[in-house]
Amino acid sequence: MKITILGAGGMGGRFGMMLHQAGNDITLVDGWQANIDAIRQDGLQADFNGQPVTVKLPIYSPEEIDQIGDHADLIIAFTKSNQLATMFEAVKPIISENTYVLCLLNGIGHEEILKNFVNIDHLILGITMWTAGMTGPGHLSLLGDGNIELQNFTPAGKDFTLQVIDTFEKAGLNPAYSENVKYSIWRKACVNGTLNGLCSLLECNIGELGKTDVAEPMLRTIIHEFALVAAHEGVNLDEAEVYQHIAATFTAEIAAHYPSMYQDLVKNHRLTEIDFINGAVWQKGQNYNIATPYCALITQEIHAKEQILGAK
Ligand code: NAD
């Protein structure tokens, strides 16, 4: 399959590498010049479960988009949420009526942005449990296993979505067709909406958060706010199950892990995806007349911290 990946960071790099190794025709587009330079010079390099792997992939900046040539069958979005609209605006020339777009970003509401650029019958949404980290420009740390759930946004896109699943299966990406990906997206957003914001504000790892005696009431309140808003969008979250799912991380191997928002904001002073997580719930809550005070406060505090740290 001819695939263009927008955002060659940790996840875009992982998918690019694995899909390339399975024989697909991969092109990367990225907005970070140091990353583009490193990939052009030395290839995309990874510590892939302890093995060094290097692949040569074409990479372009959004300003070089006219050099890409033929339209891809599939575009995979792997920018951060807050970079999505700018990236799609810049790459409009490579999106035709026939291009399919897959979005696996964390958070809620990306379809509202993508609808402005893509025929909605060609939109595929999903979540992924794969992980990836960047250790520097052009360098990835790809550890462990993962999977993907995906579903076409409208019934018309199902045949192509099944082709994508077949392509991903051959690349070892463990995809599965979801009959209700919207539920999975909201459920995963609850994980990010509790652990990411709180660990970033408290500057602690998941286990340390879990050991505090206010973790449970904070988590349950945040999940409840997500559930109230999700219900207005036809998604009925099982709050008790979602809480158990998140609380299980407090004592699992992942407890020592600092969530990605912590890494982005506290360690690297980068802007966060908060407006697409707690911020999206707060915004939607305002539209539906639902009070979401915890989500509002977390969003405002994260934005305040971004400003204090001079995040870019
Ligand atoms: P990333 O930060 O690694 O990359 C996103 C973009 O930011 C890329 O264009 C990259 O080149 C750029 N970038 C990275 N570091 C930069 C720096 N220091 N300066 C300037 N630009 C920089 O993001 P990601 O982890 O690949 O995440 C992409 C999406 O996938 C997000 O929505 C994320 O929430 C989601 N996601 C991530 C993981 C994960 O384990 N990383 C897992 C599931 C979902």
- Tens digits of per-residue pLDDT, 14-42? 999 999 999 999 999 999 999 999 999 99
Structure tokens at 105: 């970003």
* Count of other CB atoms within 10 angstroms of residue 175: 21
pLDDT for the residue numbered 69: 85
Q: Which of 80, 188, 284, 305 is catalytic?
A: 188
Among 6, 33, 78, the mutation site with the greatest number of ligand 1 atoms within 8 A of its Cβ is 78
∠ CA 72-75-77, nearest 5°, is: 160
- Residue 147 Cα to ligand 1 midpoint, Å, equals 18
User: What order of strands is seen across the sheet that includes strand 175-177?
Assistant: 59-60, 25-29, 2-6, 74-77, 100-103, 123-128, 148-152, 175-177
| pLDDT number for residue 285 | 98
Alpha carbon of 155 to ligand 1 centroid (Å): 30
pLDDT at 71 over 90: no
Tell me the residue type at 106: N
CB of 132 closer than 6 A to ligand 1? yes
Is 90 exceeded by the pLDDT of residue 142? yes
CA of 108 relative to ligand 1 center, distance in Å: 16
- Taken in order 120, 126, 130, 131, the sign of the CA dihedral is positive
Q: What is the pTM of this model?
A: 0.96
Q: Which atom of ligand 1 is nearest to the CA of 7?
A: 9
**Which amino acid residue places its CA nearest to atom 19 of ligand 1?**
32
How many angstroms is it from 141 CA to the middle of ligand 1? 12
Please report the ipTM that was assigned to this predicted complex: 0.99
For the cut 90, the answer to whether the pLDDT of residue 62 exceeds it is yes
CA–CA dist 227, 241 (Å, integer): 12
CA-closest residue to ligand 1 atom 17: 32
Token representation of residue 28: 């990367």
DSSP 65: G
Residue 77: predicted pLDDT = 98
Residue 27: predicted pLDDT: 98
pLDDT of residue 244: 98
For residues 253 and 296, the model is more confident at 296
Residue type, 188: K
Q: What would the mean pLDDT of 278-298 be, rounded to a whole number?
A: 98
Cβ(8) – ligand 1 distance below 6 Å: yes
Residue 182 contacts residue 157 (beta carbons within 8 Å): no
Which pLDDT band, with edges at 50, 70 and 90, does 166 fall under?
very high
Q: Is 311 in the pocket of ligand 1 (CB under 6 A)?
A: no
Please name the residue whose Cα sits nearest to atom 39 of ligand 1.
131
Could you tell me if 37 and 59 are in contact, meaning their C-beta atoms sit under 8 angstroms apart? no
Quick one: average pLDDT of 190-198?
A: 98
Q: Is 105 in the pocket of ligand 1 (CB under 6 A)?
A: yes
| Pocket lining: 80 vs ligand 1, CB cutoff 6 Å | yes
Domains of the chain (ranges; CATH) run 2-179 (3.40.50.720), 182-308 (1.10.1040.10)
Report pLDDT for 135: 96
Q: Are 1 and 25 in contact (CB under 8 A)?
A: yes
Q: Is 188 labeled as catalytic in the residue annotation? A: yes
The tokens describing 23, both together, are 């024989």
> For residue 2, is pLDDT > 90?
yes
User: What percentage of the chain exceeds 90 in pLDDT?
Assistant: 98
Quick one: pLDDT at residue 72?
Answer: 93
Q: What percent of the chain has pLDDT over 70?
A: 100
* Residue 220 banded pLDDT, cuts 50, 70, 90: very high
Q: How confident is the model at residue 131 (pLDDT cuts 50, 70, 90)?
A: very high
Q: Give the H or E element holding residue 46.
A: strand 44-48
Instruction: Tell me: pLDDT of 70 over 90.
Output: no
Cα–Cα distance for residue pair 278/63, rounded to 1 Å: 32
Q: What is the mean pLDDT of the chain?
A: 97
